[in-house]
Amino acid sequence: MKVWLSAFRLRTLPLSLSCIGMGGFLAALQSKFNGLIFFLCCSTTIFLQILSNLSNDYGDTVNGADHAGRKGPQRAVQSGAISALQMKNAIFIFVGLCLVSGMTLLYTAFGLELKSILFFLGLGVLSIVAAIAYTVGKKPYGYIGLGDLSVLIFFGLVGVMGSQYLFTKAFSPLQLLPALSCGLFSIAVLNINNIRDIESDRQAGKFSIPVRIGREKAVQYHWVLLLGGILCALIFVILNYKSPVQFLFLLSAPLLIINGRSVGRLPSEKLDPFLKQMALSTLLFVLLFGIGSLLA
């Protein structure tokens, strides 16, 4: 069980829950929050995140990105703690859990409204495919540097705007701004991971953004992600200004600055703790943003 929990990479879950939390807060601002829908959004997202982590463990080992010379923590299939066949079976199990939880969510949100169910079912299947295809298959898109774009789409736009639509059945263009904040901060977590693994990824032919542009520019890119996320939230608050308490989210800025400075200064082998720090900082940002907005 301990080995499986490690393979689930539970420290990544705060990041996946951040986009659902943001969607829930946006719905609460419109007095459309629903506890059951929120719970089912969280469970579906958790299953998707674990599916992605298991697929990543399997795919990176099969494709050679996870090997003895890698800087990060040892992975389950790489170490032999879990066989490739066991991991494939676990992947199929979590695909099933995603579908069951997701279909229950759609029925709860839409009842028998077929058009909405089919649209979101399509998004759900696409999310499952994206979670697996990141590192699994003959041409995984994570190996050609498209992981950042996928994270922006699924942790930002789909995660935030999609979840709030399940509550409200409506979209607002301004909601793109907090969705982009979540997406950019989520890319920052991936960027730390990719900076840490530059050398091993290069050897395995995994051309992530940091491999393509080098560490120095990857650090600059990291600052763009952090500052961009804060800027999007600032613009949203300014356009919807009611009270100074809406700027409560700025209390998370020092943690983001610490993260950016640490990524720029520390050697690769010491970056791993800042993956968790960035994920938790994103969750804190969402909580402060939501509380500030509700108190205004």
Q: What is the pLDDT of residues 5-22, one digit of tens each?
A: 888 888 889 988 999 999
* Annotated domain spans of the chain: 2-295
Scanning the chain, the segments in alpha helix (DSSP H) are: 2-8, 13-29, 35-62, 76-79, 84-110, 114-133, 147-151, 163-168, 176-196, 198-204, 209-213, 215-239, 253-265, 273-295
Higher pLDDT, 9 or 246: 246
Q: Looking at residue 154, what DSSP letter applies?
A: I
Name the amino acid, one letter, at 123.
L
CB-count exposure of residue 225 (10 Å: 0-12, 13-18, 19+) = buried
Spatial distance between the Cα atoms of 292 and 193, rounded to a whole number of angstroms: 31
Q: Which of 11-15, 52-56, 77-81 bottoms out in mean pLDDT, i.e. has the lowest? A: 77-81
Mean pLDDT, range 138-146, rounded to an integer: 83
Distance of CA 281 to the CA centre of its chain: 13
Residue 100 pLDDT > 90, yes or no? yes
The overall pTM is greater than 0.85: yes
Per the prediction, the chain carries an average pLDDT of 91
User: Would you say residue 163 has pLDDT above 90?
Assistant: yes
Nearest to 135 by CA among 214, 216, 77: 77
Q: Which residue from 84, 97, 92 is spatially nearest to 43, judged by alpha carbons?
A: 97
**pLDDT of res. 59:** 78
What percent of the chain is modeled with pLDDT above 70?
Answer: 96
pLDDT band at 198 (very low <50, low <70, confident <90, very high): very high
- Name the pLDDT band for 73 (thresholds 50, 70, 90): low
Residue 274 has pLDDT above 90, yes or no: yes
* Nearest alpha carbon to residue 128 among 87, 96, 153: 96
Dist CA 285 CA 178 (whole Å): 11
pLDDT on residue 217:
97
| pLDDT score recorded for residue 74 | 66
Q: How confident is the model at residue 150 (pLDDT cuts 50, 70, 90)?
A: very high
Distance from C-alpha of 117 to C-alpha of 169, rounded to nearest angstrom: 12
Q: What is the distance between the terminal CA atoms of the chain, rounded to a whole angstrom?
A: 45
pLDDT exceeds cutoff 80 at 146: yes
Angle in degrees, 0-180, between the axes of helices 84-110 and 35-62, rounded to the nearest 10? 160
Most confident listed range (128-132, 204-208, 274-278): 274-278
Q: What is the pLDDT of residue 242?
A: 95
pLDDT of 72 > 70? The answer is no
pLDDT at 63 over 80: no
